[in-house]
């Protein structure tokens, strides 16, 4: 469930950031706002992936595998 939350949060942030970047590109005529937002979204995606992997590893370590009967 945490993965769904992180991915949904990142999507919402990304949508807002892309619209804001588009407005700035239109206003300035340069591509820098797009580049900055792309780098920020890449960092956000990597950060979310790391969080999900860490939690999954913790959950896997917390479960003791029971032998099949």
Q: What is the pLDDT of residue 58?
A: 87
Q: Which of 38, 48, 47 is nearest to 14 (CA)?
A: 38
Cβ atoms of 36 and 21 closer than 8 Å: yes
DSSP letter for 65, please.
P
pLDDT exceeds cutoff 60 at 69: no
The share of the chain scoring above pLDDT 70, in percent, equals 91
pLDDT exceeds cutoff 70 at 64: no
pTM of the model: 0.76
Q: What is the pLDDT of residues 4-37, one digit of tens each?
A: 999 999 999 999 999 999 999 999 999 999 999 9
Task: Give the start-to-end residue ranges of the domains of the chain.
Answer: 19-43
């Amino acid at each position: 469930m945490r993965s769904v939350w992180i991915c949904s949060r990142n999507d919402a942030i990304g949508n807002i950031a892309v619209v804001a970047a588009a407005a700035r590109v239109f206003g300035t005529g340069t591509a820098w706002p797009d580049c900055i937002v792309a780098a920020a979204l890449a960092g956000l995606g990597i950060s979310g992936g790391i969080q999900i992997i860490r939690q999954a590893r913790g959950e896997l370590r917390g479960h003791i595998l029971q032998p099949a009967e």
